[in-house]
Amino acid sequence: MIHQFINNGYYIVLDVNSGAVHSVDEEMYDVIGELAKRVPDMARPEKLPEGARRETVEALSGKYPAGEIAECLDEAQELVDLGELFAADVYQRFVTDFKKRKTVVKSLCLHIAHDCNLACRYCFADEGEYHGRRSLMSYEVGCQALDFLIANSGHRTNLEVDFFGGEPTLNWKVVEDLVAYGRKREKETGKHFRFTVTTNGVLLDDEKIDFCNREMSNVVLSLDGRREVNDRMRPFPGGGGSYDVIVPKFQHFVERRGKKDYFVRGTFTRYNKDFAADVIHYADLGFDKLSMEPVVAPPEAPYAIREEDLPEILEQYDLLAREYIKRAKEGRPFKFFHFMMDLSQGPCVAKRLAGCGSGTEYLAVTPWGDLYPCHQFVGNEKFLLGNVRDGIKNTEIQDEFKLCNVYAKEKCRDCYARFYCSGGCAANSWNFHGTITDAYDIGCEMQRKRIECAIMIRAALGDLGQDDGYRPKDPSEE
């Protein structure tokens, strides 16, 4: 199976099953396109069928000289011999009984505060109140959560804990104490905690910044971009925008952060379909590690992204990709999370098996210790999995989450992105289809476009190397 696309003047051929990416000229692009109509996936080494070669020459003879087409066909044969074109489909081999798959917990999202000092209009947390249960996590519950993670992590050494909310800085003393507890448990167990925090920035001060820079492997700073965009969706509870309070704090934070990881992360909605301008705005503010995600929202929400918004949104990714290349060439690069695709490592089979990991490897913990598949499901009792004291009780729901991956989903079977995608967002699938094991089609369109952009960027920056192309492995080897 191949996927071909032209983006920003680059003619790209992705050989889906081998993962090989070829940036070619128009003629070779056309030749491969014609061959693809006639050649099945091949076990190598195998010769291109004579009939397919002849018919390709005939189909393109009005456009190119026959001798040139023959040269392209020979080149195509070389790629087949290398296993980089029309490679055999190994996908089906990986389809197993996913419910039987044993999983370990690798990361927790600790809802350290179900409370917030902002009132974002798209807030999954009901503006931090989580549908009436405003609450802070106690130190004791936090310790039980870390112990639960250690006990359920199997042989895995590196464990991730994200301090999340609401707004974690509203319960900062507990955050500090839990990091200390985690460091103590590391010594006792040989595990290693990688702590991260997601904050809206309102209460950031030097003390918290220094603590984060010492202890947090990554910090996610929430901001939606341009002032008018941010302030429309991220106001204070009494009204009034948050941009002017937050931006200087984030700039100060990033200055002190040095080379350590951080992301400025935003959410875009149908109110700012021109979100590329918001990402570029981040870069203009001096931030260089950026992320912008489509809103997760019920379809009836006025700000939810609709199918008719897609053409404009996809165009924005193209626009952003061109700016990404331009700035990289000018020596003022920025990173955009979705364009940072490592083609040489290829897709991570383990990650694809887990999907985003929600419900299996990644769990959300409420302030009182209940476990949910991820923050988007908190408060929906159907998805209550158990709690940090007694462990997971609702294994039926957990089994369903094991099916949230590209190998188990029908829609992913014929999708070219299946080796790069983690299987989409279960929460969005639930919102749009009433089941977590479908694929959220709007998200899929965006995902496929982002992958195309990421590949094109690599071609444009002269970064498609010999090593590009993965060999999918049997997941049981992971």
Does position 411 bind ligand SF4 by CB under 6 A?
yes
Contact region with ligand SF4 (CB under 6 A), list: 43-51, 69-77, 111-119, 258-266: 111-119
Q: Choose, by CB under 6 A, the member of 106, 111, 265, 409 that binds ligand SF4.
A: 409
Instruction: Yes or no: say if 69 and 61 are a contact pair by the CB < 8 Å rule.
Output: yes
Stretch that binds ligand SF4, among 13-21, 183-191, 340-348, 413-421 (CB under 6 A): 413-421
Binding of ligand SF4 by 3 (CB under 6 A): no
Q: Nearest distance from residue 279's CB to ligand SF4, in Å?
A: 19
H or E element at residue 220: strand 216-222
Are 31 and 73 in contact by the 8 Å Cβ rule? The answer is yes
- Type of residue at 194: R
The C-alpha angle 385, 293, 290, rounded to 5 degrees, equals 120
CA–CA separation, 421 and 402 (whole Å): 15
**Nearest residue to 200 (alpha-carbon basis) of 239, 159, 235:** 235
Q: Taking each helix axis as running N to C, give the angle between helix 206-215 and helix 172-189, from 0 to 180 degrees, rounded to the nearest 10.
A: 20
Asked whether position 412 contacts ligand SF4 by CB under 6 A, the answer is yes
Q: Figure out which of the listed residues 161, 254, 421, 464 binds ligand SF4, where binding follows CB under 6 A.
A: 421
Helix, strand or coil for residue 21?
A: strand
Among 426, 456, 457, 464, binds ligand SF4 (CB under 6 A): 426
Binding test (CB under 6 A) with ligand SF4, winner from 165, 266, 369, 386: 165
Query: Of 145, 170, 305, 425, which lies in the binding site for ligand SF4, with binding defined by CB under 6 A?
Result: 425
Q: Which amino acid is at 348?
A: C
8-state DSSP, 42: B
Do 405 and 353 contact (CB within 8 A), yes or no? yes
Site for ligand SF4 in 267-306 (CB under 6 A): 296
Choose one: 1-9, 114-122, 274-282, 318-326; the region binding ligand SF4 (CB under 6 A).
114-122
For residue 423, state whether it binds ligand SF4 (rule: CB under 6 A): yes
What's the CA gap between 191 and 109, in Å, rounded? 17
Q: Which of 444, 224, 461, 412 is nearest to 314 (CA)?
A: 444
Percent of residues in the chain assigned helix, strand, coil, to nearest 5: 45, 15, 40
Binding residue (CB under 6 A) for ligand SF4 from 23, 196, 437, 447: 447
Indicate which single residue of 166, 182, 347, 369 sits in contact with ligand SF4 (rule: CB under 6 A): 166
Q: Are 263 and 252 in contact (CB under 8 A)?
A: no
Asked if the peptide bond before residue 45 counts as cis, ω within 30 degrees of 0, the response is yes
Tell me the site size for ligand SF4, rule CB under 6 A. Answer: 36
**CB 228 → ligand SF4: shortest distance, Å?**
17
Contact present, 143 and 173 (Cβ < 8 Å): no
Compare residues 143 and 378 and give the one whose CB is closer to ligand SF4. 378
Interface with ligand SF4, residue 386, by CB under 6 A: no
- In whole angstroms, the minimum distance from the beta carbon of 168 to ligand SF4 comes to 10
What separation in angstroms does the CA of 168 have from each of 137, 240, 276, 313, 407? 10, 21, 28, 32, 36
User: Counting contacts by CB under 6 A, is residue 232 touching ligand SF4?
Assistant: no
Between 183 and 222, how does the x/- string for binding to ligand SF4 read (CB under 6 A)? -----------------x---------------------x
Determine how β-strand 289-294 pairs with β-strand 370-372: unpaired
**In this chain, which of 116, 204, 313, 455 binds ligand SF4, going by CB under 6 A?**
116
41: nearest Cα among 17, 13, 77, 76 = 17
The candidate with the shortest Cα–Cα distance to 121, out of 271, 244, 274, 3, is 271
**Residue 371 makes contact with ligand SF4 by CB under 6 A:** no
Report the residue from 13, 87, 120, 325 that binds ligand SF4 according to the rule CB under 6 A. 120
Contact range with ligand SF4 by CB under 6 A, out of 40-48, 187-195, 279-287, 407-415 = 407-415
Contact between 119 and ligand SF4 per CB under 6 A: yes
Q: How near is the Cβ of 200 to ligand SF4 at its closest, in Å? A: 4
Binding footprint of ligand SF4 on the chain (CB under 6 A): 116, 118-120, 123, 125, 127-128, 165-167, 200, 222, 234, 296, 356, 358, 374, 376, 406, 409, 411-412, 415, 417-418, 421, 423-427, 439, 444, 447-448
